[in-house]
Amino acid sequence: MAKRQGWTVVALVVALAATVLAQAEQPDPQELLREARMASTNKEAAVRGQLRAGKVTTPFTLTVNFGKLRFDFEEPSRVLEVRLDDDSTGVFDGKGRALKKGMQEPVAEGAAVTAEDLSLGFLYWPDARLMGKESVRTRPAWKIELRPGKRGSEFAVVRVWLDEASGALLRIEGFDWQGKLLRRFEVVSGQRIDGQWMLKQMRIEKFGPENGSRPLARSYLEILGKAGS
């Protein structure tokens, strides 16, 4: 009996040690998100791009400057500056004024893309939980669930998939306060411009509360090349 109890104790110790080791190997979700933000903004670049919805395209110039993303839209002319650093986050107009209204309005004709979408502000939400690993387009990815903690966003829950190897954003899904899928963003392709990895095409799908399997609208954010070329 004593021998059996001894083996039971050993098995329990081994199981506890394995659990602690597995927990230690799990990365901090906030650190993963910080690296994803830096991968997107910790560079200098000026590129041409467009939002495309069906046959309607809205050209823009995107200037990336260490924590700031400045979108200069054409037709009609409009500036949105997204600040993604630890000191100042949010969306600002061309005069540096914080955009407080219209965050859920489309930024271009026919496009299912809002100022809140461009801001990626949910990457700063304090409630971040690691949900494990999943594959996105055959790429192993960390899945993180984020909650805002209070109302003010269109989204109650956002799920983010980050490439395990590079930390880059692969997919984002935003859900409303009733748990319905509202928006899905997915990186379709990437490219290198002057030796730096940048987005080439991202698909943005908008869903209605009555049907979370078929999108109501589909738009694309596309980077076409260097500005001035």
pLDDT digits (tens, 9 = 90+) for 158-201: 999 999 988 888 999 999 989 999 999 999 998 888 888 888 99
Residue 25 falls within a domain, yes or no? no
- 114 with 99: CB under 8 angstroms? no
Q: What are phi and psi of 31, to 5 degrees?
A: -70, -40
Residue 184 falls within a domain, yes or no? yes
- The C-alpha atoms of residue 157 and residue 188 are separated, in whole angstroms, by 23
* Type of residue numbered 152: G
Query: DSSP assignment, residue 122?
Result: G
Domain count, the chain: 1
What is the predicted pLDDT for the residue at 41? 67
Residue 24 falls within a domain, yes or no? no
Residue 81 falls within a domain, yes or no? yes
The CATH number given to whatever domain includes residue 52 is 2.50.20.10
What is the predicted pLDDT for the residue at 21? 38
Beta bridge partners of 223: 49
- The C-alpha atoms of residue 105 and residue 113 are separated, in whole angstroms, by 8
Residue 194 falls within a domain, yes or no? yes
What is the predicted pLDDT for the residue at 23? 46
- The C-alpha atoms of residue 190 and residue 200 are separated, in whole angstroms, by 4
Residue 4 falls within a domain, yes or no? no
What is the predicted pLDDT for the residue at 140? 93
Supply the range of the domain harboring residue 116. Answer: 30-226
Helical spans, DSSP H, in the chain: 2-25, 29-41, 115-119
What is the predicted pLDDT for the residue at 204? 93
Q: Which of 136, 135, 187, 129 is nearest to 159 (CA)?
A: 129
List pLDDT tens digits, range 9-54.
554 444 444 444 344 478 899 898 888 877 766 678 899 999 999 8
Residue 34 falls within a domain, yes or no? yes
Residue 204 falls within a domain, yes or no? yes
Q: What is the mean pLDDT of the chain?
A: 82
- pTM of the entire predicted model: 0.80
